[in-house]
Amino acid sequence: MNRGLVVRALRESWPATLVLGLVLAFVEAALAFILPRFGSQLPAQWLQMGMIRGVLQAMLGTRIADQLGPEMFHSIAWVDPLPLALTWAHAMISCTRVPAGEVDRGTVDVILGLPVSRWELFLSETLVWLGCAVVLLFAALAGNLLGSLGLPAQDRPHVGKVLIVLLNVFCLYCTIGGLSWLVSSLSERRGRALTIVFLIILALFLLNYLAQFWQPLERLVFLSPLHYHRPVEILVGGVWPWHDLLVLLSAAIFMWLAAGVIFSRRDLATT
């Protein structure tokens, strides 16, 4: 780790973190406020309709037969595509800065001309990324809790359970970050790296979603990181998702380490 590199990375990362954090807080507040109310007003027979049920199950990643309460609707706030897209966008932006971003904007020669090892650069960037991730996710948490204040006390989610969900979201975020690091370490164009990561994530998202409707895909659903993100089971059942957290973190660490090794060994220069 190098203080100068951390300062530089922080200076370049905070604007995106601030903007996305504020938007995320707002979206989470709106979802946390609206969804449980909407759920309670939804006619029960609608939820028995195959299509609606399937869509909800696809989003939540779990069977919802016995979980039709405010917690279930509250958990949608953590699986809705909009907050997921915002957190993942942050991971993708942060984790493609080095090396793809630096090569792309032509500043890699200046950075590598300094007396720092590539691992130092990698670790400094990682530290700033994780720091910004914590800020981003706490903004989401703040928005979520703020939105819940508008609900009757008995319908508000349990803060402890929400924190577990947040940890799950963090691990999911790290997996997307790890994937972005890996693709970035192999790229020289940030736009290309972002496109590849986006397409992979989209494919995995669709895989998880469509597996609810199409049996043959169920065998492959373990490949999707969303398969390991089931907030309804945490909010309703209060279970610690150890297995999901471990799988997501292992995948994140594996890809991040692979990215570090590739980055430390590859040729790097402005093209």
Partner 1 sequence: MSLIQFDQLTRSYGRRRGIEQLSLSVEEGALFGFLGPNGAGKTTVIRVMLGFLRPSSGSARLFGRDSWRDTKAIKQEVGYLPGDLRLPPWFTGNSALSIFGQVRGKDLFRPGRELAEKFALDLTVRVRAMSRGMRQKLGLILALAHSPRLLVLDEPTSSLDPLIQQVLLAHLRDVSAAGHTVFFSSHSLSEVEQLCSRVAIVREGKLVADETLAALRARAGHEVTILWSDASQTANLEPPAFLRLARRDPGVWQGVLEGPVNRLLEFLAGKPVQDLYIGRPDLESLFRRFYQTTPEARV
Binding site for partner 1 (CB under 8 A): 2-5, 7-8, 11-12, 105-110, 112-117, 120, 265, 267-270
Q: What is the 3-state secondary structure (H, E, C) of 156-177?
A: CCCHHHHHHHHHHHHHHHHHHH
Q: Within 13 Å of residue 212, how many CA atoms lie on the same side as its CB?
A: 22
State which residue, 2 or 57, has the beta carbon closest to partner 1: 2
Provide, rounded to whole angstroms, the least separation between the CB of residue 118 and partner 1: 8
Helix ranges (DSSP H) in the chain = 3-41, 44-48, 50-60, 70-76, 81-95, 102-105, 108-112, 118-148, 159-185, 190-210, 231-237, 242-265
State which residue, 255 or 268, has the beta carbon closest to partner 1: 268
State which residue, 108 or 183, has the beta carbon closest to partner 1: 108
Provide, rounded to whole angstroms, the least separation between the CB of residue 263 and partner 1: 13
- Which has the closest alpha carbon to 144: 126, 129, 165, 113? 165
Provide, rounded to whole angstroms, the least separation between the CB of residue 120 and partner 1: 8
Provide, rounded to whole angstroms, the least separation between the CB of residue 262 and partner 1: 13
Residue showing tokens 């969900």: 165
Give CA–CA dist 102/105, Å, rounded: 5
Provide, rounded to whole angstroms, the least separation between the CB of residue 160 and partner 1: 40
State which residue, 50 or 113, has the beta carbon closest to partner 1: 113
First to last CA, the chain: 27
State which residue, 115 or 216, has the beta carbon closest to partner 1: 115
Give CA–CA dist 61/58, Å, rounded: 5
